[in-house]
Amino acid sequence: MLEVHDVSFSYDNEKLILDSVNLQIRRGEITVITGPTGSGKSTLALALAGFIPRVIEGAFTGSLLIDGENVEKYLISEIARKVALVQQDPESQISTLLVSDEVAFGPENYSVAPSEIQKRVEVFLNAVKSSHLANRPTYALSGGEKQRVTIASMLAGKPDFLLLDEPSASLDPKGIQQLQKVLLGFKNSGYGILCIEHRLATILPVADRVLRLSKGKISRWSGKTSSAKTTPVEHFRRPDSAEPLLIAKGVSYSYGTISAVRDVTLSVYPGEIVALMGDNGSGKSTLVNLLAGLLHSTDGITYIDGVPSIEMAAQDVAARVAVVFQNPNHQIFERTVQREQYLIFDVLDSLDEAPSERPEEVLLAAGLANLKERNPFSLSHGQKRRLNVSSVTVHEPLVYLFDEPFIGQDEIGRNFITQTIRKRGESGGAAILVTHDSSVATSLCNRIIFMERGSVLLDGPPKIVLDRLGEIGYGEYADLGVMS
Amino acid sequence: MTIEHQSTESGSMLHRLNPSLKLAGLIIITTGILIYPSWRFSGLLLLLTILGFKVSNVPLHVSKKRIHFLMAFSALLFIFQVLMTANGTILLFIIPKHDLMGPFLPVTDFGIEKGFQMSLRFLLVVFSSMLFVSVTDPTLLAHSLTRLKIPYRYSFALVIALRFLPLFDMENKTVRIAQRSRGISISVQGMSRILRTIRYTFFPLLVSALSRVDALSLSMDGRGFGHSRTRTYLRKSCWTALDSAVLVLLSTLLLASILLTLGFLPQISAII
Amino acid sequence: MSNGQNSSITTRNIVTVAILASLGGSLSTFVGYLGNLINLSLGVPFGAGQFMAGLHVFWLILIRVIVAKRGTGTMGGLLKGLVELFTGSTHGLVIVAVSMVQGLLIDLGAEIAGTPHNNSNISRLTWWLSAGVAAASNVFVLQAFYFSGAHWILLTVIALLAFCSGVIFAGYFAWETLEFLKDSRVLSNSFSSTSPFPVSRKRVTYRNLPAIALIIFITVGSLYYTVAVAQVFSDPYSCKVTGLVENPYTYSPQAFVGQEVTVQAELQGVNIHLDPANYTGILLSTILEAAIPMAETTGVRIVARDGYTILLDLDEVMTDTHLLLTEVEDGLWLIASNYDGALWIRMVITLEVY
């Protein structure tokens, strides 16, 4: 049994992140901890894995026990042999170039004999259903594959307890189902498992017990999902006379020899809010970049507001299209929130004509009005995301293209982004959002485009598309209709 | 820009050589040609390098852009030497005598020889480095460096750096696309524009890269990195008789180039 | 951690060095691209790209300041060079040498500057200067490989350009970046206490004004020195007389005033013919006599600045009354009227008796 007794922790000696927490993780059981963003879930995982107080500084009190023994005197490398932590972003946790090297990394450090290491690499890759990846370079893996390799590499040190922080965050519905199977397998082989999960529904089917962490305290989870009621959007009728805002005609794109988008033809009309769905790697993000005129298709042609995008200058594109990419850090350029918000007017040389109230109003709606002088990179993930949305839509371009905008958002952020998208649709513009979340697709969107291996598989009203998906073997998209 | 390394399993003789030895070889060739700058010596080594590509079955992949650069730069080096060298037997003048003016810019046999020296040296450095990279697995290189008493924690930094490279290349592209989406274009007109261009590219990438430091170091600490002074390896190249033979060969080469430089081998230096 | 210069290096330190070196290596193509843009905008084929040289050193400065441990500059330089080697840098192994020398110089500068903790302007100045020196070093390393024989004035100008680039990008801009990173809170716990600058809302520019002024002074000063003053010391009209002689010395025409000889000579080359003209200078035999060649010496090796070398028989030289060194605009020329045109040498710098 892995347990913490009366653990309190603060990074800065002021704000208490964990407040006398007691928790026990038993072997052969999957424990899930849920709670709002910023409630200290990740901090708790770091304490359970012994990183707090050994590697991470701060004010720590309380004790960590493994099978009843207080491990206060243990080094981190000794605790790590018993407890393994898989952090949120698998990408950042891979340290080697080859999958088998990655799994071997732990045992190598503990000077395990090479023949035994070889055995472990095979066993644990097999346990995460990834034996076929052994000789692949790590950078060429998909998000789900990276995560499974990371789990295998943690288990190769043969710990008894496995802690996972937001394991479903970057997974598509297929990946989530695979993860559930893998975790069940580990539970049955006797591991004690703790999952920290914000999207509770993704892990609920395999959970033995669910706890809630809020304001540094653990409590029993009440069983209520916080997901808002979903009211399907009324059926949308495209005005007959309207000209499409975005057009793709026979568009293809490949990265070197790998084809990402194949022969896509579609039009997006004023008033449409489109959910762009599909498995990871199906070409959604590439299609967004093509439609936004940011990548030039290898074949076919795209139009923005009637003009071929290849003929448009960067400023003209920016004036008409707003794009939000997946990683918020990649699209912040200025040194204060305020300057970031006004950047587009500077670029478009319309700083003088900038409407005086609008930028401030948008910041206020995004909940960032009191952070104007802050360095935007110092904001929380959710705040950064809202700044991304607010700074690309402040000049009200015609079309919004958002790639997974809801990941890591709490209620405020979710509402702000939803409202931003809805308003654009109502005022004669259009929006496309990439999402795995079918409840978003049904509650916010009036059209779903579903992609498979670079091509459009289905395109139509949400209800019809989702029903059809169930029939053709993509049932997980309908089943896992949870708020992300 | 991706890492163009091959797995050692593809098995040519060069692939199987000890990675540290290969690195030493590359250093020796480069040093040799630096201290004994004869164009015949460079040419000979360049031929051997090309032969190395053949022996190890590595296709000489050179992109068109690369060829252009290689040609342009070797031409530049050649012309530079020809222009900077006034001595030797004059072959012609670039600007011939015209009335009272000139002649200017003589081309001499010595200048041309020096031109060949430099451009061949450049090509040798480029191609021998390319050969080294294409037959060396960087992970095995890092591992084999521990033989030279470099602690594994330090040599492992090479593995980490190369592991993140494709990711950073991708993020670099993403940031450039994100810039375009905001209408930002690259400009070098004036200092403030240059600084802005750099800021807009460096800052997002720096933050993104540094935000990975914590997760990676926790993940490594959490798998016993540095648990003891030594560790074992799933894959490690061992030292073979072939390695010893190549080591002898390389030492001879180094010694020869030193002796040639010092003028102790007049008979040989007359030839190469 | 406040004075962590010698405490052992942590996993976090290693990861930081590796990640920054990797990013720096990845962005070197972008930096090269910027350099090309600058070349293009100035209409020159190469050289102005050196104005971006500081952006390579920038990463090493970041590494050395953020990790703040002895030797991490060199480690970072070596890594960044290896990353570029493995991604197929056009300069191959040379780039590793260039980058490692830069790291070494940064470490050296860091030693002189003291703990990065030390906030004085002098400390910052030392950092910035070592950044400039490190950036300029690439010119000399590359010169050793590819441009040997380049004129020192050309080298100096390019090196100065690189130096300024180092001060601007790896000094001024690196400091702005460090401040920015600190402000963005991405450098967590360990860095905050070893910050090289005070927390202040004032703009970087104003606070660094004294350092900027000093740097400008030093740059302008060294430019003046190299162009105006240094020329006196490396007099092109001088030549070393060495080898197996009793009295090695540096020959300069002024020391032989009154001993000039004038000869009429005609250059007869394969492709060149200089009509008979009068040349005035000091006979080679006079110059060599002053050095007193030892017994049993047989020849003299004459070396030009560009490396061109010829061998002449000592006895013949000592009896030749038409073989002299004369002063021409670019240095001392050997007028060898009795010999083939290939033995007329420009810019003689060494006479070595053997």
And the tokens for A371? 């952070």
Q: What is the mean pLDDT of residues A445-473?
A: 91
Q: What is the predicted pLDDT for the residue at B179?
A: 94
Shared domain check, C130 and C24: yes
Helix (H) / strand (E) containing A220: strand A217-220
Strands, E assignment, A299-439: 299-304, 307-308, 321-324, 399-403, 430-434
- Other residues' Cβ atoms within 10 Å of the Cβ of residue A329: 26
Q: What is the predicted pLDDT for the residue at C232?
A: 45
Using a pLDDT cut of 90, give the percent of chain A over it: 61
Residue B248 has pLDDT above 70, yes or no: yes
User: Can you give the CATH number for the domain in which C342 is found?
Assistant: 3.90.420.10
Query: Taking CB atoms and an 8 Å cut-off, how many pairs form between chains B and C?
Result: 217
CB-based contact, C304 to chain B, within 8 Å: yes
| Domain-located, residue B179 | yes
Q: Give the B window 115-144 contacts with C, CB below 8 Å.
A: 118, 121-122, 125-126, 128-130, 132-133, 138
Under a CB-based contact definition with an 8 Å cutoff, are residues C79 and C18 in contact? yes
| Domain-located, residue C3 | no
In chain B, the residue whose alpha carbon lies closest to the alpha carbon of C55 is: B198
Q: What is the predicted pLDDT for the residue at A225?
A: 53
pLDDT in tens, B154-178: 999 999 999 999 999 999 999 999 9
Shared domain check, A451 and A351: yes
User: Which residues of chain A make contact with C26, given a CB cutoff of 8 A?
Assistant: none
Rank A229-233, B105-109, B235-239 by mean pLDDT and report only the highest: B235-239
All chains having 3 or more CB pairs closer than 8 angstroms to chain B? A, C
Q: What is the predicted pLDDT for the residue at A233?
A: 59
Select the residue of A81, A93, A318 nearest B219 (Cβ to Cβ): A93
Shared domain check, B90 and B14: yes
With CB atoms and an 8 Å threshold, state whether C183 touches A378.
Answer: yes
- Other residues' Cβ atoms within 10 Å of the Cβ of residue C240: 16
| Domain-located, residue B41 | yes
Beta bridge partners of A214: A217
Q: What is the predicted pLDDT for the residue at C328?
A: 82
Shared domain check, A110 and A15: yes
In degrees to the nearest 10, what's the CA dihedral of B242, B243, B248, B250?
A: 120
Shared domain check, C98 and C143: yes
CB-based contact, C38 to chain B, within 8 Å: yes
Residue with tokens 């991405």: C186
| Mean pLDDT, contiguous 10-residue spans, chain C (354 residues) | 53 95 94 88 76 94 92 95 90 91 92 68 86 92 77 82 93 92 76 40 57 66 58 67 88 86 77 77 90 88 83 88 84 82 81 88
Closest among B44, B42, B66, B57 to B125, alpha carbons compared: B42
Domain count, chain C: 2
| Domain-located, residue B1 | no
CA distance C12 to C2: 16
CA distance A127 to A121: 10
Position A312, amino acid:
M
With CB atoms and an 8 Å threshold, state whether A335 touches C189.
Answer: no
All chains having 3 or more CB pairs closer than 8 angstroms to chain C? A, B
Termini Cα distance of chain B: 37
Q: What is the predicted pLDDT for the residue at A482?
A: 42
Position B58, amino acid:
V
Please give the biggest Cα pair distance in chain B.
82
Residue A336 has pLDDT above 90, yes or no: yes
User: Which residues of chain A make contact with B175, given a CB cutoff of 8 A?
Assistant: 330-331
And the tokens for A281? 């790697």
Closest among C263, C91, C197 to B122, alpha carbons compared: C91
**Radius of gyration, CA atoms only, chain A:** 24
Q: What is the mean pLDDT of residues A45-74?
A: 91
Shared domain check, C170 and C27: yes
Q: What is the predicted pLDDT for the residue at B127?
A: 92
Q: What is the predicted pLDDT for the residue at C91?
A: 85
pLDDT in tens, B45-64: 999 999 999 988 888 777 78
Using a pLDDT cut of 90, give the percent of chain B over it: 50
| Domain-located, residue A241 | no
Q: What is the predicted pLDDT for the residue at A434?
A: 94
CA distance C102 to C28: 15
Domain count, chain B: 2
Closest among A24, A19, A21, A7 to A161, alpha carbons compared: A24
CA distance C312 to C349: 16
State residue A142 phi and psi, 5-degree precision. -80, 170
Name the minimum distance, in Å, from the CA of B86 to any CA of chain C.
Answer: 7
Q: What is the predicted pLDDT for the residue at A408?
A: 76
Shared domain check, B132 and B250: yes
Shared domain check, A211 and A348: no
Name the minimum distance, in Å, from the CA of B84 to any CA of chain A.
Answer: 43
Shared domain check, C95 and C111: yes
Helical spans, DSSP H, in A295-336? 314-320
Q: What is the predicted pLDDT for the residue at C191?
A: 43
In degrees to the nearest 10, what's the CA dihedral of A135, A141, A144, A147?
A: 70
| Domain-located, residue C4 | no
And the tokens for C298? 């047989």
CA distance C63 to C15: 11
* Higher pLDDT among residues A35 and A340, named by residue: A340
* Higher pLDDT among residues C268 and B112, named by residue: B112
And the tokens for C103? 């790291």
Under a CB-based contact definition with an 8 Å cutoff, are residues B216 and A92 in contact? yes
With CB atoms and an 8 Å threshold, state whether A378 touches C184.
Answer: yes
Query: Taking CB atoms and an 8 Å cut-off, how many pairs form between chains A and B?
Result: 184
Under a CB-based contact definition with an 8 Å cutoff, are residues A331 and B171 in contact? no
And the tokens for A14? 């002021």
Shared domain check, B177 and B122: no
Shared domain check, A200 and A281: no
Under a CB-based contact definition with an 8 Å cutoff, are residues A271 and A428 in contact? yes
Shared domain check, B25 and B93: yes
Cα A170 to its chain centre, rounded Å, is 4
Under a CB-based contact definition with an 8 Å cutoff, are residues B119 and B74 in contact? yes
User: Domain containing B205: what range?
Assistant: 152-228
Q: What is the predicted pLDDT for the residue at A272?
A: 93
Closest among B25, B11, B53, B2 to B237, alpha carbons compared: B11
Q: What is the predicted pLDDT for the residue at C197?
A: 43
Residue B103 has pLDDT above 60, yes or no: yes
Closest among B55, B4, B20, B5 to B237, alpha carbons compared: B20
C-alpha distances (whole Å) from A265 to each of A445, B174, C5, C37 are 20, 24, 61, 37
Angle made by CA atoms C279, C283, C284, in degrees to the nearest 5? 125
Name the minimum distance, in Å, from the CA of C225 to any CA of chain B.
Answer: 24
Under a CB-based contact definition with an 8 Å cutoff, are residues C96 and B23 in contact? no
User: Which residues of chain C make contact with B211, given a CB cutoff of 8 A?
Assistant: 186
Sign of the torsion formed by the C-alpha atoms of A24, A27, A29 and A30 = positive
Under a CB-based contact definition with an 8 Å cutoff, are residues C292 and C319 in contact? no
Shared domain check, A110 and A254: no
Q: What is the predicted pLDDT for the residue at C306?
A: 76
Q: What is the predicted pLDDT for the residue at A281?
A: 86
With CB atoms and an 8 Å threshold, state whether A377 touches C189.
Answer: no
With CB atoms and an 8 Å threshold, state whether C83 touches B188.
Answer: no
Q: What is the predicted pLDDT for the residue at B267?
A: 78
Beta bridge partners of A2: A25, A66
CA distance A170 to B175: 20
Shared domain check, B69 and B43: yes
Helix (H) / strand (E) containing B26: helix B19-35
Q: Tell me which DSSP letter residue B101 carries.
A: B
And the tokens for C41? 């905008």
Under a CB-based contact definition with an 8 Å cutoff, are residues C263 and C313 in contact? no
CB-based contact, B152 to chain C, within 8 Å: no
| Domain-located, residue C5 | no
Name the minimum distance, in Å, from the CA of C149 to any CA of chain B.
Answer: 7
Shared domain check, A328 and A179: no
Name the minimum distance, in Å, from the CA of A56 to any CA of chain C.
Answer: 8
- At C184 the three-state DSSP class reads coil
Closest among C135, C138, C134 to C107, alpha carbons compared: C134
Shared domain check, B208 and B255: no
| Domain-located, residue A69 | yes
CB-based contact, C189 to chain B, within 8 Å: no
Shared domain check, B50 and B21: yes
| Domain-located, residue C2 | no
Shared domain check, A290 and A177: no
Q: What is the mean pLDDT of residues B131-150?
A: 91
CB-based contact, A378 to chain C, within 8 Å: yes
C-alpha distances (whole Å) from C209 to each of C62, C103, C124, C243 are 21, 26, 11, 53
CB-based contact, C216 to chain B, within 8 Å: no
Q: What is the predicted pLDDT for the residue at A238?
A: 67
Residue B6 has pLDDT above 70, yes or no: no
User: Domain containing A370: what range?
Assistant: 246-479
User: Which residues of chain A make contact with B139, given a CB cutoff of 8 A?
Assistant: 96-98, 101
Select the residue of A315, A330, A343 nearest B208 (Cβ to Cβ): A330
Shared domain check, C329 and C262: yes
Q: What is the predicted pLDDT for the residue at C111?
A: 86
| Domain-located, residue A233 | no
| Domain-located, residue C91 | yes
User: Domain containing C81: what range?
Assistant: 11-233
And the tokens for B198? 């750099």
Shared domain check, A145 and A79: yes
CB-based contact, B104 to chain C, within 8 Å: no
| Domain-located, residue A226 | no
Cis peptide before A173 (omega within 30 of 0): no
Rank A238-252, A262-276, A462-476 by mean pLDDT and report only the highest: A262-276
User: Which residues of chain B make contact with C79, given a CB cutoff of 8 A?
Assistant: 157-158, 161
State chain A's mean pLDDT as an integer.
89
| Residues in Cβ contact with C287 at an 8 Å cutoff, skipping those fewer than 6 apart | C241, C251, C256, C325, C351
Supply the ipTM of this predicted assembly: 0.90
Residue B4 has pLDDT above 80, yes or no: no
CB-based contact, A57 to chain C, within 8 Å: yes
CB-based contact, B221 to chain A, within 8 Å: yes
Least confident of A224-228, B41-45, C276-280: A224-228
Q: At what angle do helices C54-67 and C173-183 cross, to 10 degrees?
A: 40
- Other residues' Cβ atoms within 10 Å of the Cβ of residue A262: 18
State chain B's mean pLDDT as an integer.
87
pLDDT category at B69 given cuts 50, 70, 90 is confident
Shared domain check, C224 and C90: yes
CB-based contact, C90 to chain B, within 8 Å: yes
Q: Give the A window 348-407 contacts with B, CB below 8 Å.
A: 348, 377, 392
Q: Give the B window 129-168 contacts with A, CB below 8 Å.
A: 138-139, 156, 159-160, 162-163, 166-167
Using a pLDDT cut of 70, give the percent of chain A over it: 94
Q: What is the mean pLDDT of residues B221-250?
A: 91
Helical spans, DSSP H, in A113-245? 114-127, 143-155, 173-188
Name the minimum distance, in Å, from the CA of B241 to any CA of chain C.
Answer: 27
Shared domain check, A159 and A37: yes
Select the residue of C75, C88, C330 nearest B4 (Cβ to Cβ): C88
Shared domain check, A399 and A451: yes
- At C286 the three-state DSSP class reads helix
In chain C, the residue whose alpha carbon lies closest to the alpha carbon of A375 is: C184
CA distance A270 to A246: 9
Name the minimum distance, in Å, from the CA of B66 to any CA of chain A.
Answer: 17
User: Can you give the CATH number for the domain in which A8 is found?
Assistant: 3.40.50.300
CA distance B51 to B46: 9
User: Which residues of chain C make contact with B76, given a CB cutoff of 8 A?
Assistant: 45-46
Residue A1 has pLDDT above 70, yes or no: yes
Shared domain check, A290 and A173: no
Under a CB-based contact definition with an 8 Å cutoff, are residues C263 and C323 in contact? no
| Domain-located, residue B202 | yes
Shared domain check, A257 and A178: no
Q: Are strands B90-95 and A455-460 parallel, antiparallel or unpaired?
A: unpaired
Residue A480 has pLDDT above 60, yes or no: no
Helical spans, DSSP H, in B88-190? 109-135, 138-145, 152-181
C-alpha distances (whole Å) from B105 to each of A264, A481, B94, C260, C279 are 61, 78, 5, 29, 21
Select the residue of A95, A108, A114 nearest B160 (Cβ to Cβ): A95
With CB atoms and an 8 Å threshold, state whether A375 touches C180.
Answer: yes
Under a CB-based contact definition with an 8 Å cutoff, are residues B72 and B80 in contact? no
CA distance A394 to A365: 11
Least confident of A255-259, A352-356, A362-366, C28-32: A352-356
CA distance A336 to A115: 55
Residue A201 has pLDDT above 90, yes or no: no
| Domain-located, residue A359 | yes
In degrees to the nearest 10, what's the CA dihedral of C264, C265, C266, C270?
A: 180
